[in-house]
Amino acid sequence: MTTKEERNFMTVRLALDKPCTKLLQEVLRHYVPEKNIHMLLNDPARKRNIIPVLRKLKQETTLYPRTGVFNGSYADFDLSLLYVLIRNLTGIPNHTTGWGNAPDSMDNSTAANIERIRILRNKYAHGSTSHLTNKELKKERKNIISCIHGIERKLHLNSTQFEDAAEAIFKAAKEHENLGEHLTKCQDEIRTMQKRQDEHENHLLKKTEEIQGDILNVHERLNELEKPLQKNTGKLQETEYEKSIFSQWQEDDDFFVSTKAAKNVGKMVETNNLVLVTGHSGSGKSAIIQHIALQYRGHGWIIV
């Protein structure tokens, strides 16, 4: 059974995945109708900018089919793809800090509100937690409604249908009304995202093992140095500065959530003299290393 905090998290995800996504579909349609988009997509200058991003999103064949031109509907586009197309095809002016950057808090332009929606979506699609307090939910509700309202007003849509749809989601969540089906769908999406994360961790583990196979000479050198190091270890004492660092690590470690990658690294440390932990920025490399180091420190090891 889901907790209140988990339901809060899924409510925000639902607001971003449904009304916010549909709003950006309408923004793109407002500037570039489906029937005209192929002309802009095949403009050489625009194509050079868009193709690398589409490949990263694995959406190249969606807009550039092997035969013919795109003749589908924006209704199937997700928020990430819509952001790329709006940014590159609509001619909407940059916000004050430029596309791709967090907008100024006082900037209420259409571009700024689209950017805020993108940032919120990334936060909740790729974040490390699936819980949200009532206070945090209230804050995110205000942010989302403000962005939708600003975009609808600037586009002169003469309607508040997207704002109303988002409000309905938040109101239904607050009153615990008929969210079963939508929340279940969000849970499935989160499980899919977690599965992809596990696959990514397995890929990183495989790469790590390949790297370790290339550093056997380093292992041999470390084996030669191991005995004198063991003799000197008994003489080492932690300085006050080191103790303060380990104290900070311990505070951070109280919030550490073990992952499959962390467990694999822990096992590899037990059987190898040297383990390299690699991964993209923000994937938790430092947290894993600190967590394992604190465990060994607790068994009397000296951390250097």
Q: Where are the alpha helices (DSSP H) in 156-179?
A: 161-174
Same domain, residue pair 23 and 118: yes
Same domain, residue pair 164 and 60: yes
- The number of distinct structural domains making up the chain is 2
Same domain, residue pair 251 and 133: no
| Residue span of the structural domain in which 16 resides | 4-178
- State the Cα–Cα distance between residues 211 and 218, nearest whole angstrom: 12
Q: Is 275 helix (H, G, I), strand (E, B) or coil?
A: coil
- State the Cα–Cα distance between residues 274 and 110, nearest whole angstrom: 51
Same domain, residue pair 77 and 224: no
Cα dihedral 114, 127, 17, 9 sign: negative
Same domain, residue pair 171 and 221: no
Domain contains 188: no
Same domain, residue pair 166 and 234: no
Q: 107-111, 140-144, 166-170, 177-181 — which is least confidently predicted?
A: 177-181
Q: What are the tokens at 167?
A: 């409000």
Q: Which of 178, 194, 226 is the last residue of a domain?
A: 178
Same domain, residue pair 37 and 140: yes
CA 120 vs. chain centroid, Å, equals: 10
Instruction: Compute the half-sphere exposure of residue 296: CA atoms within 13 Å on the CB side of its CA.
Output: 14
- State the Cα–Cα distance between residues 184 and 74, nearest whole angstrom: 25
Domain contains 196: no
Q: Which residue has the higher pLDDT, 18 or 159?
A: 18
Per-residue pLDDT tens for 201-253? 888 888 888 887 778 777 777 777 766 656 655 556 778 888 888 888 888 88
Per-residue pLDDT tens for 53-106? 999 999 999 999 988 888 889 998 999 999 999 999 999 999 999 999 999 999
Per-residue pLDDT tens for 229-242? 566 555 567 788 88
- Give the pLDDT confidence score for residue 22 in this predicted structure: 96
Same domain, residue pair 21 and 96: yes
CA 124 vs. chain centroid, Å, equals: 7
CA 24 vs. chain centroid, Å, equals: 19
Per-position b or e across 210-243, b if 16+ CB within 10 A of its CB: eebeeeeeeeeeeeeeeeeeeeeeeeeeeeeeee
Q: How many CB atoms lie within 10 A of CB 256?
A: 15
Domain contains 147: yes
